[in-house]
Structure 1
Amino acid sequence: MEHKSKKILFIAPASFPIMGAESIVNVKLLKALTEEGYQIDVISKDMKWANYPYQQMDEFGISLHSLTVVGVDNKLTIKTIFYHILTFFTFGVVFKGAHWAYLALKKAKRLVKQESYDYILTKNAPAELIGYYIKKKHGLKWIATWNDPYPTEKYPEPYGKGVDAEVFWGSKRLIPIMNTYPDIHVFPSNRLRDYMLKYLKVTIEKTRIIPHVALLDTCSKTEQNNDKLKLIHTGNVSHPRNPEPFLHALHLFYSEHQDLDMEVAFMGVLPENFTKLLEKYELKEKIKHLPAVEYTKSLEIVKTYDVSVIIEAPCQEGIFLPTKVSDYMQCRKQIFAISPAVGVLHDLYQEGHIRYFADCTQVEAIKATLNLIYNDFKNGNLSIVPPIKQEYTAKEVVNIYNQF
């Protein structure tokens, strides 16, 4: 069915520069939408993270109608205190970092007066404050995205204190705002939606499930390495994620296969205790550390490995959809999910979209899966990659946005 290309105001503090998981998710969505003819004005935040290299928009091949990057000072000064006070008087809400929304609102209001948008799309915090203001003052349709539990106090253990956690006093109006003003709530997984609906009074009809898009033309499929088995983990393994069960399982696996030539790499910034864990499990000579690189280069590196590893925190239920899932899918690589026994990644495993899975708390289960991967390597079966779930493709994702 033909559709009219939409014009949207896209509020995403984490988008440009392209740096970190949230910005990768947002930029991939922007690429999918603009390639379908969407006219998009983006308001982003000037992030300053020293640990991760970043890419600019032109390096990613995205054609926006406009891009505004709003910088803020996050240091505790009289000026930032004053901006936080103004934020509270403007939105009725304040929390650390919320002053970005106050500073970005001026540009958002100007764009709403100049353009005839189909809707405003908000991504990571504090974008929701701008969505709320524009919806309330101008009546523009608001599509609110929640890629993680929000407010942040309600993260599940061990990240936070769960659905019953008390919200910071300055943020108490957030949940009433979330209940009342968005026209549609977007979640990347049904488990996250169901978790948040335990404390939100939102009907299921006002929700949509839109996974992080996998851009299939970003990486071509590669065959498995024939000389040695190669596994890679990219990104964060800091608390509450725990790499120790995986490292322990590797130690046991190597003990059973002493002559095995296998490469295991971790890409990115590692926690302070990681070296001690390598020493504890006699892995200092067996684990390769790759520095963090810009996003597209990281995909090229992932292509040279056979299996991509995901390590999740030991939550009672895995409600998160890690950015790496769609990245690894689009690279057409096997995924080894070390995750909660009940959760989003286990669902994908049961559906046949992830080939290897082990409970993130069970060392023996992780070791058994390493043996399974090794046997598939010896038999030349690692190049047989599970199909990408249709809901993750750009075509399916854009189709949902067409319906808003």
Structure 2
Amino acid sequence: MVEKKNILIVTESINIEDSSGSKANVDVIRNLKQSGFDLKVYHYTRKATSLKGIDCVSISEQKFTFMYVLSKLQVMLWKVFKININPFFEKRWGFSFSHFNDVYSIKTALQKETNFKPDWVLTLSKAASFRAHKAVLKLDKWHSKWLAYVHDPYPMHFYPRPYNWVAPGYYQQQEFFRAVSKQSAHAIFPSQLLKEWMGSYYPDFLERGIVIPHQISDFKIDRSILPLYFKKERFTILHAGSLMKPRNPKGLIEGFELFLNKHPEAKADTQLLLLGHKAYFKTYLDAKEQQISQLYVSPGYVSYKDVQGMQEHASVNVILEAKSEISPFLPGKFPHCVKANKPILYLGPSYSEVSRLLGERYEFVAEIDDVDRIATHIETMYDYWKNKSELQYLNRPDLKTYMWFTTLKQLIMQL
């Protein structure tokens, strides 16, 4: 077998503070480097940033194009007159003006690359963008080497219920991804269920798709200084992440409240922290924060460094997903929670990637609105913590290995 060591990576961002997708992508890049591969990273971060020990090329935005002018005109019309022309054009073309210009900018930068001879070309994206994928789709010479990383369902009308967004240009987006499924050498999914879910729409993903989970990175971050609201000496239940509309925290809070009512002695040494954007539930959360002194809700985004530190010092890390029959997602925080080695309180569907990985015998699982079960789980975990039991730790070396760079290297070398 001929070793394939050179990997050209095309990603929209390497700024770990701009999205959970960027955090996950950077962990993949770092673990590929640790695996011994030679990397060159083209990124469209729009901010001066780099990754230590990795050759990074910042892609410049092309500002003398028709699409660039139209994108700025669209912004001006919205700011001045509150007129949004994007939906009208997206319905016909599938994408925004800025999307087209960004793809052109990425493609232009890649066409200038002549020195690095990649064995694989890996495209990484975030949210519902996939600009890097579209740029490489336009470069036929790399299709036979193309590893297209698919982090979430796309287009968004392929999300499972209760997500129900349909983009104006849904049909063009759907056909774009059909081309990705056919032209890429392999699609990479962070989740087995996501591969199967997307393969039900695009059969080529089932045939040539592979699963590479989000990665545990050993990148060193100073986690010794924590925010003042985090009390190390307390039994701390931590949820880190934006509360999108389907991720309703009401069951978690009411379960916590029920636990406190049953065990008033725990009020002195217990806290529940909710970190991240909360717009959809602001009124409810503000009211509950006033009623429950053991509840802290952050006013907004909390830095990656602080979140990582608190996850490692927390007693319990919560993963909260939507009320649904299925969740094919692997949350970006999952490897961080495994690395923290504390119990995971998983609130989500039983048919999910998180449940699959934790296993059928894992105890601390409930639907997001099962208040009684949530309270019971908190009670059990509190007892483990109070009695300094070994069961206060997650202790899942199998999951650490699954998301470690040595396994990643094996998967890439087998392609």
TM-score interval w.r.t. the shorter chain?
Answer: 0.7 to 0.9
- Report if aligned partners of 2:50, 2:56 keep a CA contact under 8 Å in 1: no
Give 1:160's aligned amino acid.
N
Aligned to 1:311: 320
Q: Which of the residues 152, 158, 162 maps onto 1:154? A: 158
- Consecutive unaligned residues of structure 1, counting only runs of 5 or more, are 49-54, 84-91
- Report if aligned partners of 1:186, 1:207 keep a CA contact under 8 Å in 2: yes
Q: TM-score, normalised by structure 2?
A: 0.81
Aligned to 1:248: 254
Structure 1 residues 308 and 256: CA distance shift in structure 2, 3 A: same
- Report if aligned partners of 1:18, 1:57 keep a CA contact under 8 Å in 2: no
Structure 1 residues 82 and 123: CA distance shift in structure 2, 3 A: farther
SS at match of 1:367: helix
Root-mean-square deviation (CA), in Å? Answer: 3.2
1:387 corresponds to 2:399:
no
- Aligned equivalents of 1:106 and 1:77: distance in 2? 14
- Aligned equivalents of 1:299 and 1:220: distance in 2? 9
Q: Deviations over 1:206-250 (max 9, x none)?
A: 11111101125658999xx99531111111112121111111111
Give 1:155's aligned amino acid.
Y
- Report if aligned partners of 2:321, 2:348 keep a CA contact under 8 Å in 1: yes
Aligned to 1:68: 58
- Aligned equivalents of 2:16 and 2:218: distance in 1? 22
- Where does 1:112-261 land on structure 2 (aligned, <5 Å)? 113-124=114-125, 125-134=130-139, 136-160=140-164, 168-202=170-204, 204-216=206-218, 218=220, 227-260=233-266, 261=268
Give 1:57's aligned amino acid.
S
The CA deviation at 1:299 is: 1.2
Q: Give identity over the alignment, percent.
A: 20
- Where does 1:360-375 land on structure 2 (aligned, <5 Å)? 360-375=368-383
Give 1:367's aligned amino acid.
A
SS at match of 1:144: strand
- Aligned equivalents of 1:403 and 1:177: distance in 2? 24
Aligned to 2:275: 267
- Aligned equivalents of 2:289 and 2:251: distance in 1? 10
The CA deviation at 1:332 is: 2.1
Structure 1 residues 77 and 71: CA distance shift in structure 2, 3 A: closer
May I ask how many residue pairs the two structures share in their alignment?
A: 377
In terms of fraction of residues, the more helix-rich structure is 2
Structure 1 residues 21 and 284: CA distance shift in structure 2, 3 A: same
Give 2:215's aligned amino acid.
V
- Consecutive unaligned residues of structure 2, counting only runs of 5 or more, are 75-91, 225-230
The CA deviation at 1:57 is: 3.1
Aligned to 1:109: 111
SS at match of 1:323: coil
- Aligned equivalents of 2:338 and 2:280: distance in 1? 30
- Aligned equivalents of 1:117 and 1:82: distance in 2? 38
12-21 or 187-196: bigger deviation: 12-21
Q: Deviations over 1:81-129 (max 9, x none)?
A: 799xxxxxxxx97413522111111011111x33211121112212211
- Aligned equivalents of 2:312 and 2:131: distance in 1? 35
Give 2:313's aligned amino acid.
T
Aligned to 1:15: 14
- Report if aligned partners of 1:317, 1:343 keep a CA contact under 8 Å in 2: yes
Q: Which of the residues 52, 59, 71 maps onto 1:80? A: 71
The CA deviation at 1:311 is: 0.9
Q: TM-score, normalised by structure 1?
A: 0.83
- Aligned equivalents of 1:272 and 1:148: distance in 2? 22
- Aligned equivalents of 2:281 and 2:249: distance in 1? 10
